Amino acid sequence: MTASVRLSASCLRAHKRRFAGTFLAAFLGVAFLAGTLVMGDTLRASFDTMFGAATSGTDAVVRSADAITAPGESQGVRQPVDTDLAGTVRRVPGVAAAEPDIQGAGQLVAADGKPIGGQGPPTLAGNWITDPKLNAYRLAEGRAPLKSGEVVVNRGAAKKGDLKIGDTTTLRTPDPVKVTIMGLATFGGEDGMAQVTFTGMTRADAEKYLTARAGQAASIRVRAGPGVGQQELVDRLTPVLPKGVEAITGQESAQENTDMISSQFLTLFTTFLLVFSGIALLVATFSIHNTFAIVVAQRTRENALLRALGASRRQVTAFTLVEAGAVAVTASVAGLAGGIGIAAGLQALFPAIGFPFPEGDLVISGLSMLLPSAVGVVVCLGSALLPAVRAGRTAPLAALRETAVDQSGASRLRAVTGMGLAALAVAVTLTGVVVSPSLWLAGLGAVLALASFVVLGPVASSTAVRILGGPLDRLRGVTGGLARRNALRSPKRTAATAGALMIGVAVVSLFTVFGASLKATMDQTVSRSFAGDVAVSTPSFGAGGSGLSPRLAAAVQQLPQVDTAVGLGRGVAEVDGRGRALTVTDPVALERTFDLGEVRGSLSALGTDGLALTEKEADRLGLTTGDTTRLAFTDGRREAFTVRAVYDRSELAGDYVITRAAWAPHRTQDSDTLLAVSFEDGVGTDEGKAAVQKVAARYGNPEVQTRDEYAQSSAAGIDMMLTLVYALLALAVLIALLGIANTLTLAIHERTRELGLLRAVGQTRSQLRAMVRWESVLVAAFGTVGGLGLGAFLGWVLVEASDGASDSVFAFAMPPLQLTVVALVGLTAGALAGLRPARRAARLDVLRAVATE
């Protein structure tokens, strides 16, 4: 082993450039993984510190015991508690202070008239708690609100909206309220809690605008007296609380808030980045394996001489693995430093792009250092294992032959194996998509499809390069022909080199196809289900925004241009023991404005105890028209509802519909999520839209859109997602580019004598550069075409599997323009990868090159 180490060290010193691409590929993959883990740990620690500091004065929280969580939501809806309960709590021994905490949705309007926030993170409003130790927000500038219309806002929201103390603006609750900013606040020492906005009002204003009725609060915050611990305080409070109300410690409340941020953002964000780290490392695996395969092939004579001198197979194999291990350890250590740098850069970058990364030192845990370095070493050693075994099998007699390039790859066994894998992939995929819809089966089929592409790559590369390089003979003459022949020289090498780029292009194509399909699905949903002329909505998605005023629908309905205006509100209740979202609306107007498909029963007969639901939910519950089921609301009441209508389509209307009168006794802060408007016959879209906009301006100026505009804005989040995906996948494409460049550099070293002879017989430097560049483009073209095909197939699988495994109806779409751009980027990457090897080849000294053995 000592001899192997010495030989490996000597080889690495003598051929540093050979392993430069391998080092960079491993370095980038490890750095991205380490940066993701360090950033996740830092964010969690920072939010823990922030919430701990913000709620340090709260020793107990009194709240409703039960919460109802609808599907797709991370936290449930709780019934308010009576504010009078604060008086009862104050009389408990050991309580120093108790204040009602009223919370609701409230979205500020910026100085330019646009809403602040609402793109996911919530926009909150509440009463400004006068006890500074119980208030999670700290007054940084100005004063607290003293009379109606005065507010305090978090400093981050004020900066984002270009607002300052003394400014008057609008607060959507969702009814518009004119407010004057009297103070700016911080949360845990920061300008805000991530991108959450907060507006603090007087208690009277908070009760008036944020609750269904006066005398209600989300919770009661309690501060203990000297010498009373948090758990002791909870134990004293519990006996005096009414049924359905509980007390938890302040630490538990802070932990719940941290967990909420973690589940809603941190876990999703870090998982998203980890997926792309995995993709980058997968691409790096191809590049590393290809490098070692070429190096082993080029050292055939060298390894044979070692065997002839007495080295065993195990020693030659160990010799190669020690080289891989040295590169792996060096790249991993450097990658850890690079990952810390990436995390530090993101910590500085996030505030610049509007996300307030909490201040604090980077948190570097043992796991975030050990895992990336271990992965880097395993990837390098695993990628080099097969080439190392192949090196150990070198026969001593090979020392008598010329250095050979690996010519294997296009064997009959490989072709049969690859076709078998492809057939199995198609069978499993079709089973998971068509026969028995299953995301797991579809995913297994996708993995098998990827494996079949890898196995069949060397078999297909010869045919693909001949076809793709055919035009070069006519366009570039002898130079183009030589480039094509060089790419054909080693099918296995060409396929392995192109494989890295193929993976990157495939993932880009997959997300492109899936994103286009989501857009097409949204267009299809709106076109099929929405029969109105315009839609009024707040420009937000996710949990953010304050919604629309329920009074807006009635005001729009009064317009002479309008035939029907229906608002869709939202409630929540338990049905058959499971939380379900309720659509609160006028069912008669709903049927006139939305296409619900076939309706059995009567929507007009719902009244205050009637329910309409989709056929899917009716079948699940075993219900039909005339049957009765019980709904449990957040206020603890359980009421019997009779199924009076069953309808087919739920895409925009939801699965359960009740009237506003039925929801009124259980409502909290009321708002609509969408207002659909149909015009009278003969009213043009422009005329009707202008009339609706005038009325909407009095209710916070929400956006009024045509059906097409509404469909496009609903899909706006998809474009944001794709932009982030493309930015992250640029790393994988960069690693693939490095792999192509490294392969060409090694190939030039291998063909030194051949290139010298070409120059000796009259080939110019520019022709030599062009030959190498076109060879690079051909390899990239093969990888790009394969990646496009694989990505389109995987995109189809994902869309169809999602369609079969969910209740939504997905539409498959192939975006030709975007895929053409992806193809051009892949070819451009190939051309860029060939620039440096081409320059190096052109600089070879002719006489020395010809004399090279």
13 pLDDT tier (thresholds 50, 70, 90): low
Q: What's the angle, vertex CA 98, arms to CA 96 and CA 101, rounded to 5?
A: 155
Cβ–Cβ under 8 Å, residues 127 and 201: yes
In this structure, what token pair is assigned to residue 775? 């060879």
- Taking 50 as the threshold, does the pLDDT of residue 810 lie above it? yes
Mean pLDDT of 736-747: 73
Q: What is the pLDDT of residue 397?
A: 59
Q: What is the pLDDT of residue 120?
A: 62
Q: What is the pLDDT of residue 541?
A: 45
842 pLDDT tier (thresholds 50, 70, 90): confident
Mean pLDDT of 578-598: 89
| pTM listed for this prediction | 0.74
Q: What is the pLDDT of residue 700?
A: 79
380 pLDDT tier (thresholds 50, 70, 90): confident
- Taking 60 as the threshold, does the pLDDT of residue 382 lie above it? yes
Mean pLDDT of 788-817: 77
Q: What is the pLDDT of residue 656?
A: 93
Residues pairing with 247 in the sheet: 62
| Stronger pLDDT, 26 or 176, i.e. the higher one | 176
DSSP characters over 731-778: HHHHHHHHHHHHHHHHHHHHTHHHHHHHHHTT--HHHHHHHHHHHHHH
In this structure, what token pair is assigned to residue 458? 């060397």
Mean pLDDT of 208-230: 90
Cβ–Cβ under 8 Å, residues 713 and 609: no
SS3 percent helix, strand, coil of the chain, rounded to 5, is 60, 15, 25
Q: Write phi, then psi, for 142 (nearest 5 degrees).
A: 75, -150
CA 496 to CA 492: how far, in whole Å?
A: 6
C-alpha distances out from residue 49 to 52, 53, 75, 368, Å: 5, 6, 22, 20
- Taking 80 as the threshold, does the pLDDT of residue 243 lie above it? yes
| Stronger pLDDT, 567 or 457, i.e. the higher one | 567
Type of residue at 623: L
> Nearest Cα to 473, choosing from 464, 485, 462, 461?
485
Mean pLDDT of 280-308: 73
CA 831 to CA 751: how far, in whole Å?
A: 20
Q: What is the pLDDT of residue 543?
A: 46
Average pLDDT over the chain reads 81
C-alpha distances out from residue 322 to 5, 316, 561, Å: 6, 10, 80
Choose from 231-240, 627-636, 743-752 the range with maximum mean pLDDT: 231-240
Residues 6+ apart with CB under 8 A from 49: 188, 358, 360
CA 839 to CA 748: how far, in whole Å?
A: 11
Coil/strand/helix, residue 617: helix
Mean pLDDT of 239-261: 85
403 pLDDT tier (thresholds 50, 70, 90): very low
Cβ–Cβ under 8 Å, residues 711 and 674: no
Q: What is the pLDDT of residue 404?
A: 47
End-to-end CA distance of the chain: 30
Packing angle between helix 366-392 and helix 267-298, nearest 10 degrees? 20
pLDDT tens digit string along 21-38?
A: 677 778 888 888 888 888
Q: Write phi, then psi, for 797 (nearest 5 degrees).
A: -60, -45
Choose from 33-42, 259-268, 464-473, 745-754 the range with maximum mean pLDDT: 33-42
- Taking 80 as the threshold, does the pLDDT of residue 55 lie above it? no
Element (H, E) at 676: strand 672-679
Choose from 103-107, 302-306, 347-351 the range with maximum mean pLDDT: 103-107
Mean pLDDT of 635-646: 90
CA 88 to CA 85: how far, in whole Å?
A: 5
Cβ–Cβ under 8 Å, residues 144 and 182: yes
Coil/strand/helix, residue 558: coil
pLDDT tens digit string along 128-174?
A: 999 989 998 999 999 999 999 999 999 988 998 899 999 999 999 88
Mean pLDDT of 347-366: 68
CA 6 to CA 322: how far, in whole Å?
A: 10
Mean pLDDT of 790-817: 77
In this structure, what token pair is assigned to residue 680? 């009278």
Q: What's the angle, vertex CA 71, arms to CA 68 and CA 72, rounded to 5?
A: 115
- Tally of residues, the chain: 853
Element (H, E) at 187: strand 176-187
Type of residue at 483: A
Q: Which residue has the tokens 């611990």?
A: 229
Residues pairing with 180 in the sheet: 150, 168
In this structure, what token pair is assigned to residue 683? 């009213």
Type of residue at 609: D
Burial (CB < 10 A; 0-12, 13-18, 19+), residue 436, is exposed
What number of other Cβ atoms are within 10 A of residue 349's Cβ? Answer: 12
pLDDT tens digit string along 819-839?
A: 888 888 888 877 887 777 778
Element (H, E) at 485: helix 439-488
Cβ–Cβ under 8 Å, residues 391 and 339: no
Coil/strand/helix, residue 581: strand
Q: What is the pLDDT of residue 405?
A: 47
